[in-house]
Each structure stands twice: as structure tokens, then as C-alpha cells.
Chain A
Amino acid sequence: MKGEKTERFGIVGHDQPRVDGMDKATGRTRFAGDLKVPGCLYGKVLRSPYPHARILDIDTSRAERLAGVRAVVTFRDSPNILFGAYNSGVKDELILARDRVRFVGDEVAAVAASDPSIAQEALSLIRVTYEPMPVCLSVAEAMAENAVKIHDVEQNIASHKVTVRGDPDAGFKEADLVLEDRFETDLQFHAFLEPVSCIAEYDTRGRFHLWAPSQNPSWCRIIFSEAMDLPISRFRTVQTPIGGAFGGKLEQKLYLIAFLLARKAGKPVRLENTREEEFQTSMPRVPMVIDLKMGMRRDGLITAKSHRIIGDNGAYSKYAPAVINLGTYRVDGLYGIRNIRNETILVYTNKMPTSAYRGFGNPQITFAVESLFDMMINELGLDPLETRLKNSARPGDTTAHGFKLISCGLRESFESLGRQMDYRGAGLARDKAEGVGFSGTSHVCGNRGFFPLFDGSTAFVRIDEGGNVRIIVGETDVGQGLLTAFAMIAAEELGISISRIQVDACDTDLSAFGLGTWGDRATFIGGNAVKTAAAQARKEIIEVAAGMLEANAADLVLRDDTVYVRGARNTGIAFSEAAAHAVYTRGGSPIMAKGTFIPDSEGADATFFGNISGTYAFGAQSCRVRVDRRTGEVEVLEFYAAHDVGRALNPMACHGQVEGSIAQGIGYGLMEQAVYKDGVMLNPGFLNYGVPTALDVPPVRSTLIETIDPAGPFGAKGVAEPAMTPTAACIANAIFDAVGVRIKDLPITPEKVWKGLKAQERGE
């Protein structure tokens, strides 16, 4: 591995502007909302204004009579089959509500018309008779003894799991300090700029075609098939460029509604969320109440951890069962905790369904663990950095949950922060105090837990007679720069310039089956598939060139767009010449190569034990904040981040991921908050839901730690999700360092800090 680290590459490891950057910057990229299809109808969805109500009657007759209306659909047009996220174990949704609505925004009916304003008017003509029901707006209300049942489950519990590893009792006994506290986290919205949007068409052969910004085009067909009660073969997904996803563009109910409308109208139908609908239904981050207990030896070693997490599922489960289980156990590998008792309870409420968001449960639990860890470090008077280093996972470890760490740069990450951040003796001004906080992070790079039968990726490489290289994959660029990473990997492997390469978005009729982009899997797993396919293509084109040059293929190299005999560069032929020769002399057959990568992962058992990912990503962050002692306002002054990315394929893209993550983490930590009244979200828009602006994000100094992962493509791992995970905890710890106030619930608003400071003044 050491050898490869120092190996020089022509493309990999160098800053590469996005291959799709120019089109995006000049407005040429056609997002789903830009697509024009002749004869396309415009759809609108009628949603519940009640957080919980019985539907007594739905009368669509007036809407159907409105001129320009081509289809009105209700539950009568859809199968009466409950479905849910794949392999989540919970099926609790219908495409359109049948006899009950469970949150404000629940989908009841939909209309397709020749014009959006007609569709909107038609919605107002649909008469739904509701009978309001009692409402549970918090997990506490929902779990109360006499609470109304939102679904037919006891205490509104959608999922309840307990996992024990090692001997937690003995671990706590061994501890010199046991600390226990409650931490709470709030909703967080993906707030991507491109709202969920699609065009659906039903063809004369009975196939549904969907153009949509889907994170998981192949995988979502499985859910379509289940919800529509039709075989997978009847669905085709064409992925359109994705204007931000962050876990929020997995399968959408909107797509299923579009199918119903397209089938009934016999025309293509466009459906698009308004921003308000995004905030009503876009499946934000699962809020959690985390009761956490940890034991620590006097020297700072963590001996045991137990948590009981109650997650707010919202009205339907989606991926929340997986978020609360997989996401919240992930943290245990960070500091090599061995004695563990983890309990998770997911509870229905009459709020919007919650689901996946960058980090997948990990930011929630990392906020709790890193906060409590910090409290213990302070209690024992230990050094925050030294103590984290002492506990940090190391390469070669197998964690309590069975994760095999084949590479791990956590210690190097903390050490890097220690060199950069002066954290001892923060400055103290009169009204304003400064403090420094730390937090670590670990994450998967793929997860077989979702789809035990399958892990991996397959890529196709096709080289035409002009020497253009087309790469077709099953993973998706969600804005993180995957197209660029794949183009770089292929260009490096083939020995050609990156401008020859185009990476296609997924079309399930053409691409190989893939799980898409989530769980930090795309670069690590998909990148390996592309690398393998490119290597195969190189072999084939060299063979063609060998015939042309009358040379032995083993003596040929392909570099700088030229195939030549090793050591005799001027004898070579151009890559494009070889490509043309291949096509013309082989009956039109282009070079077509296929590459498959299957990571060395295993499906987890019923207790979530197993090496679910081919490798794991690590990192650490530190920030300096200034707290106004009199108003509680927190200003983040600077952020340092060090992330083990395996190898930085495209350093500028890695830094970009870290910076973007920290911006989102600052929003999560300090600002973003859903305000509710009677089950209605009061701030469903960018004006009052405060995602940070450029002025709210400080300079981010990001360092990339290269551990050259043995399994990664050129040694690369993922970075997009782990970079978001530690940020909120880091800020909370810095605030404590500054003013001695510990805020245990997110977001850390000035009001909470101010109240903490007041309590401190009163000596509480």
C-alpha cells in the first residue's frame, strides 16, 4: 500500500473541475422540471389539512367535470396494498389515503389537467368529508397509555430493538465515572434547491416510464412494483440530473401518484412539489430523544455505553426504522466501545414522515455521544484531544458490531487538528467568550444491511469509432461530483484524457442494476466497478492495437491517448485510431467492457452484527466559537476538519464535500428548526426555515488524510456523509468550552444558551 501512496497519477489526485460544471454554471443542464414532452399534462396533489382525521367521503365529480381536467385519482385507482421502504420490515403506506389521514400534507387525491392552474382549481372542487380525530404531536403523547392509535400497533411503536454486545454491566462497574443524560435533536430538512419533480408516462405496452431526479433509480423499481402490484419489468426509471439530494431523493410517493395519473389520463404527466410541499412531505431527518449513559476510567478510556433512543417516525415509516437502528449503532466503532446496550424505539406521531438525511441517524447519536464524552472529559479534567486519541479506533480493529476496519485514519485526523487548532486557554473578552470544541466521526462506505442478497456495482464502458468513451453505471451523481470521479477513474485507468469520457445518468433499461447513491457507497463501490471495466476496455483496445502494430500486446502501453510499444513512444498509434479500427474491422462492434465489484461485506444478523460495508470512513472536526454572554448568540469563527478519505481522487471535490457538510451541520447545530402549531408546520419556506447563508458559515480549513484503503478504487473511500456527522457536537462542545453552558438539545438557539447562562448565574 505504501508503494501506491507515493505512486504518481496523471489524473487521480489532482484537482479536476466538474465535468458537468460548465453546463450547470451556464444553465444548460436540463433538470426534470425543465423537460418538455408534447401533450404533457400537469398534475397537482390534494393533501390533508388535518393532522389526523377519518375520511368519510371523497367526491371528485365536480373536479372531473371541470374543462381541461384529464384525470382525477383517489385510492380507488390504486391497489389496496400496504407498502414501505425496501427491507425495512414495516409496511404502513398506501399511495393515496383510503379512510384515514395521518399528517397535514397526507396525500388524498390528485388531478391531471392541461394547465397547472386548472389542476389547482380542480383540487378546490374535490370535496373530502373529514372527521377529525385526536392527535399525537410528540413521541411522549403517542406513547401515553390512552393515546389514539395512529396505526394498529401498541403504544404507536413502529419498531423496537435491543442489542447487547460485550458485558455492559461489567463495563459500567469498571468505570470510575458513569454519566447519564438526555439529548434531543430536531427535524432537519434537506432543503435542496431542486424540488422533487417528475414526468411519468404509461405506454401502450403497459410500461411505466419515469423521468425523475432519483438517487436510487434501479432500487426504487422494487418499491414501485410492490406499491403498484405489478412486476418490476413494468417500470423504467430514467434519472435526470439531481439538484441536491442528501438522502431526500430516494423513492417518492409523488412518482407513484404520477403513475396513477398517467395511466388514467393516457398521457404523460408532470408532477412537481412546490417548496411548501417539500417542507410538508420531504421526509426530513428523524428527531430523536436520546437517553445516553457512558462509563469511563479515570484515564479517559470509555468502558461501556448504553442508550435508549426514541425516534419520531412521523405518520409513516419510510426509512426511519433503518435510520434509528443502523444509523445510531454506527457510532460505536468510533471509539472502540466494547460493552454496549443499545435500545431503539420508533414511534408514530401525526407529523410528516421522517427518513434519511446525510449521515442517516449518525449525526443525531454522534451529537449525544460526543457531548456526553466531552462532559466526562471535563468532569475528570482530561485533555479533550488526548482522550479522544486514546479511545480512537485503529486500523485492523474489528468493532463491537463486527465492522472490520481495513483502513482507519481517525488518529491521524485528530492529530492533524491538534497541530492546527490552538485549543488550550481560549480567549476571554468581557461580554464575549471564545471556546474550542472537538468531535470525531465514522461511517460506512456502502451497507449490505439494506439488501442482504446484493452488494456491489457494475459499470459498462463503451468506446465508439471516434474514441469517445461512454460509461454507464447504476449509481447516481447527487451533486457530490460522482460523474467527475468516475470520469477521472476511467481516464486514469485507460490512459486517456478526461475530455473523451462521458458518464451517463442511469436509465434502468440500459444501466446495470445498482443501489444508487446513499450510505457513502457510490465512489467506493461504483468507482471500483468503473475501474475494473476501464481496465478490461484498456486490455481490449491494446489487443486491437497489437494487431495494428504487429506487436505483442504484453509489450504495449496505453498512455496519453496513445498506444505504443513500451520504451518506443514515437512508434505508437492514437487511441482514437485503435478505437476506429476496432469498430470497422469487427463488424461494427465497439469496445464494450463490463466491470463488477463486490465488496467484502456481509449482511448483518438480526442483532445488526456483521461487517456490513467493504470499508469505513473516519474523520474529525474542531471549531472555535464566540458566545455573547448576555444574549446567548453564538458565532462560529472557524472550522477545522480532517477526514480520512482513503485517497483524495479529486481533492477540490473532497474539500467541497467537507465545506458543504459543515454548512449543513451549522444549520443543524444552530439554526434549523421546524415550528409547529396544532400539527401544522408554520415555517414551510426558506424565509422562516433558517438554512445558513454564506455569511453564517466561517472559513473551513479542510485537511485530507490519505490512508490508501486496500479495497478502494486507487485507495479511495467516501466523505460526503461522515463530514456532516460531527459538526453539531463540535459546536456544542465549543460553546461549553467558551461559557460553561451545556446545551443538550438541537438546534442550539441563542435563547437556549441565554437560558443556560441565566441558570449558571443563579448557581444552578
Chain B
Amino acid sequence: MTRLEFHRPDTLKEALEILEKFPGSRIVAGGTDLIVLMKDLLVKPSALVSLSRVKEFSRIDFNADGLHLGPMTPLWRMEKHDRIKGTFPALFQAVISLAVPPIRNQATVGGNLCLDTKCIYYNQSRVWKRALTTCFKGGGKICHVAPSGKRCLGGLVAETAGPFSIYNAVLTIASPRNVRTLPIEDFFSGDGIKPNTLAPGEVVAGIRIPLPPSGAGAAYYRFSTRKALEFSRVNLTGAICLDERGRISSARLLVGAIGPAPVEVRKSLVPLIGQVPSEKLWSETAKGVAGEAVRLSRSPRLTPHLQAVVTVNTERIFQQAWREATGNSA
């Protein structure tokens, strides 16, 4: 039986010191994913460092600058927070669609953002894996998802990744030497083996989201086999912003869970700019979205059927974002 050290420091400083002192140590936030990975021997940390006693890490602050979330904020607190629900509906929708209430009681927002990629070929027990050749992530030379590919296509199933991206979140990253800020788009590495750009010893110390400008609306959608207790097979986060004349000044769409990072579709949305929203406009625009996502992600996870799901729900998402933007969300 392997022994495991468990630390629960009271301050961030202390936590960072412990992380540095024990190479191979891991931060445990809610533990809803890490413990499963440890059971399957996919990670074998030398020590676990819990951040649950670091007080400022579970704070939710809402002020004129926007929303500040401590990384240890449990997801249930976000779903019960009326202003998060009202101001950042796409984030709220992502959170309530995630797992099941008992897991959301335990899981944290920082943990979700730092979630490792998931893959049916990798996230299996050691015993099970004897039956298949080792993939890139396990140290082998193949990706079973795309056998001709040259990289790991593990899916980033962090449901909050899309909403944080669409709301332009900025992360505070702390290390023993400095504290830096990082725009969310630079947080995702695009590498299925290690999907974020955190260096060893670094910790996500805070998440800040600016208040959306007036005229903005956003929405989130996920596709999965059942309605709960499942990672999405594909998810979409969309946003539009209307100018004072009611024309679209900006539009964004992220396709998540099909590869190691959310894929932002840009080209297909160009024709939206300057237009007056309409259902017809959405359906015209949506036609190009799935194809662009396939080209950008090069992921076989986006099957023809899921492409249709993306197309249809792009329309529905923009329609919903439009309702949000015009304050017609009820």
C-alpha cells in the first residue's frame, strides 16, 4: 500500500511552499475528479495539498468591476447565486448542467477549470488497459480517437471553459515567485496530455470576469446521452452584442468537449456583424459553423450527427443570446 501525505495549509503562501517542497504533489480542490484518477492509478501524487482552508479562495465578490470567484468556490454556491444567474446566464447554465447535485456540492470552480482531459481510451483502470496498446497520454505512440493523428485528442470536458472564455475571464496565477494575470484564452494549451499552461508549482488563485457590456447576451448548450451525470459530448457557448441601433456589433461562439481546448469559430460569424438579428440570420450563419469547427479541431469526435447538433444549436443559442441581449430572457 502506498502512503500519501495530506496537507491543509491555511494560507496561499504556505500552500505554494508545500507544492514546491514536494515534487509530484497535487492540489486537491473538491477531489471529485482527482480521487477517481487516483483510484485508476492514472495519477500517483506524492502528496495532496488541499486549499480548503485558504479563506479568500472560497469568496464570491460581485462589484462594479464584475465577478471575482475564489477557485475553491463550490459549484452549488454559483448556481444559488442570483446575480451570477442574472448576469452570466451561460456560466449558470453550464454549472447546473454539470454532473449531479451531490457532485456540485463538492466540486469547485477552480477544479473544473483545471480539469484534465477525458478520453474513453485513457480514463480506464490499469487492469483494463492491459487489453489495448498505450496511447499518447499514457506514454505510447498512438491516439485511438484519431489513429492517423500525431497528437492526443483527449476532450476538455470542463463545462465552465466555454462560458469563462466567452465572458473574457482573467485568471490570477500564483507561484512562489510571483503573481501574474492570464487571459483565459492563454490558459488552455490545446495539448490533450496537459490541457492548461500552468507551470509546476503554479496555482489558479482567482477568476475575474468583467461585467458584460450593455446589449450583450450569451447562452450555453450541451449535448449528452442522458440529462445528468455525464460529461458533454459537445457543448456550445455563444454570445452576441448589439449596438444602440440593435445591430450586431460582435458575435462569438465556442465549441467545447471535442478536443483538448474549446474551439472558437470566427470566420463563419463574420457575416453577422452589422446585421439586425433574425432567426433567418442565425440559420444562414449556422450552416458554416460545424464545418469550421471540424477544420479547426481536426477532431473525429465531431461526427456528422454531432455536426448537425452543432448547426441546429448554434441557431438556438444565438436566438437565446439575442433574447438575453434585448432583456427578453424570461
Given contacts A631-B308, A678-B132, contact A276 B226 (CB under 8 A): no
Q: How large is the interface on B (under 10, 10 to 19, 20 to 34, 35 or more residues)?
A: 20 to 34
Instruction: Closest A residue to B119 by CB, please name it.
Output: A682
Q: Does A146 contact B (CB under 8 A)?
A: no
- Determine if B305 and A632 form an interchain contact, defined as CB atoms under 8 angstroms apart: yes
A628 CA to B1 CA, complexed, in Å: 52
B181 at the interface (CB under 8 A from A): no
Interface-facing stretch out of B123-131, B270-278, B290-298: B123-131
> Is there contact, CB below 8 Å, between A671 and B120?
no
Contacts of B229 in A (CB 8 A): 686-687, 693
The reply to whether B128 and A688 form a contact with Cβ atoms under 8 Å apart is no
Q: Which of chain A's residues 579-630 have a Cβ closer than 8 Å to chain B? A: 628, 630
Task: Report the separation of the CA atoms of residues A687 and B130 in the bound assembly, to the nearest whole angstrom.
Answer: 21
**Complex Cα spacing A749 to B225, Å:** 8
A762 located at the interface, meaning its Cβ lies under 8 Å from any Cβ of chain B in the complex: no
B226 and A50 contacting across the interface, CB-CB below 8 Å: no
- B144 lies within 8 A of chain A by Cβ: yes
Complex contact A50–B131 (CB within 8 A): yes
Q: Are B312 and A630 in contact (CB under 8 A)?
A: yes
Cβ-neighbour of B228 out of A628, A695, A751 (below 8 A): A695
Q: Is B13 an interface residue (CB 8 A)?
A: no
Whether A651 is near chain B, meaning CB under 8 Å from some CB there, is no
Residues of B215-236 contacting chain A, CB below 8 A: 223, 225-231
**Cross-chain pair count, CB within 8 angstroms:** 71
Query: Is the C-beta of A15 less than 8 angstroms from some C-beta in chain B?
Result: no
Asked if residues B309 and A683 are in contact (CB atoms below 8 Å), the reply is: no
A49 and B131 within 8 A (CB): yes
From A683, which residue of chain B is reached at the shortest CB distance? B120
Specify which of B225, B226, B227, B305 is in contact with A754 (CB 8 Å cutoff). Answer: B305
Q: Is A117 at the interface (CB under 8 A from chain B)?
A: yes
Q: Which of B132, B227, B305, B309 contacts A696 (CB 8 A)?
A: B227
Partner of B303 from the list A115, A630, A751 (CB cut-off 8 Å) is: A751
Complex Cα distance, B121 from A684, in Å, reads 11
Kindly name the residue among A631, A671, A678 whose own CB sees the greatest number of chain B CB atoms within 10 A: A631
In the complex, chain B residues whose CB is within 8 Å of the CB of A687: 229-231
Q: Given contacts A631-B312, A688-B120, is CB(A693)–CB(B228) below 8 Å?
A: yes
Complex contact A693–B226 (CB within 8 A) = yes
Say yes or no: is B100 at the interface (Cβ < 8 Å to chain A): yes
Q: Which residues of A contact B100 (CB under 8 A)?
A: 693
Are B226 and A104 in contact (CB-based, < 8 A)? no
Whether B127 and A276, one on each chain, are in contact in the complex, defined by CB atoms closer than 8 angstroms, is: yes
The answer to whether residues A677 and B227 also contact, given A49-B131, A104-B131, A682-B120 and a CB cut-off of 8 A, is no
Known A115-B1, A117-B1, A751-B303; contact A690-B131, beta-carbon cutoff 8 A: no
Q: Which of B121, B125, B127, B132 has the most CB of A within 10 A?
A: B127
A692 interface residue per 8 A CB criterion: yes
> Is A680 an interface position by the 8 A CB rule?
yes
For chain B, residues 120 to 152, give those with C-beta under 8 angstroms from any C-beta of chain A. 120-121, 124-125, 127-128, 130-132, 144
What separation, in Å, do the CA atoms of A47 and B127 have in the docked complex? 9
The CA of A695 and the CA of B97, in the complex, are separated in Å by 11
- Which residues in A have their C-beta under 8 angstroms from that of B309? 631, 750
In the assembled complex, how far is the CB of residue B258 from the closest CB belonging to chain A, in whole angstroms? 15
Q: How far is the CB of A1 from chain B (nearest CB, A)?
A: 44
Chain B residues contacting A692 (CB-CB under 8 Å) are: 226
Q: Is the CB–CB distance between B308 and A754 below 8 Å?
A: yes
Q: Using Cβ atoms and an 8 Å threshold, which residues of chain B touch A754?
A: 305, 308
Residues of A with C-beta under 8 A to B125: 274, 276
Answer whether residue A35 sits at the interface, using C-beta atoms and an 8 A cutoff: no
Within 8 A of B (CB), among A670-723: 671, 675, 677-680, 682-684, 686-688, 690, 692-696
Name the interface residues of B278-330: CB closer than 8 Å to any CB of A.
303, 305, 308-309, 312-313
Q: Please determine whether B132 and A677 come into contact, CB atoms closer than 8 angstroms.
A: yes
**Proximity string of chain A (238-278) to chain B, C-beta cutoff 8 Å, 1 when within and 0 when not:** 00000000000000000000000000000000000010100
CB interface residues, B 81-133, toward A, < 8 Å: 100, 120-121, 124-125, 127-128, 130-132
- Asked whether, in the complex, the Cβ of A750 is within 8 Å of the Cβ of B305, the reply is yes
User: Chain B residues near A50 (CB, 8 Å)?
Assistant: 131
Q: Which of A501-552 contact B (CB under 8 A)?
A: none
A666 to chain B, nearest CB (A): 10
Residues of A with C-beta under 8 A to B303: 751
Closest to B303 in A: A751
Given A50-B131, A631-B312, A684-B128: A695 and B120 within 8 A (CB)?
A: no
Q: Give chain B residues whose Cβ lies under 8 Å from the Cβ of A682.
A: 120-121, 124
**Which residues of chain B are within 8 angstroms of A693 by Cβ–Cβ distance?**
100, 226-229
- Closest residue of chain B to A279, judged by CB? B128
CB of A755 closer than 8 Å to a CB of B:
yes
Contact A695 B227 (CB under 8 A): yes
The reply to whether B128 and A276 form a contact with Cβ atoms under 8 Å apart is yes
CA A630 to CA B131, docked complex, whole Å:
38
Task: Render A112-135 as a binary contact track against B, CB cut-off 8 A, 1 for contact.
Answer: 000101000000000000000000
> Which residue of A has the minimal Cβ distance to B305?
A751
| Residue ID in chain A nearest B313 by CB atoms | A631
A247 to chain B, nearest CB (A): 23
- Which chain A residue lies CB-closest to B121? A682
List, in ascending order, chain A residues with CB within 8 A of B223's CB: 631
Residues of A within 8 A of B131 (CB): 49-50, 104, 678-680
**Complex Cα distance A631/B223, Å?**
10
Pairs A–B under 8 Å by Cβ, sample size 14: A49-B130, A274-B125, A630-B312, A671-B226, A677-B132, A682-B121, A684-B128, A688-B120, A690-B226, A690-B230, A692-B226, A693-B226, A695-B228, A754-B308
Chain B interface (Cβ < 8 Å from any Cβ of A): 1, 100, 120-121, 124-125, 127-128, 130-132, 144, 223, 225-231, 303, 305, 308-309, 312-313
Top-3 shortest CB links A-B: A695-B227, A49-B130, A751-B305
Q: Beyond the given A49-B131, A115-B1, A693-B226, could you list 5 further A-B residue pairs with CB under 8 A, ordered by the A residue number?
A: A631-B309, A682-B120, A687-B230, A690-B230, A750-B309
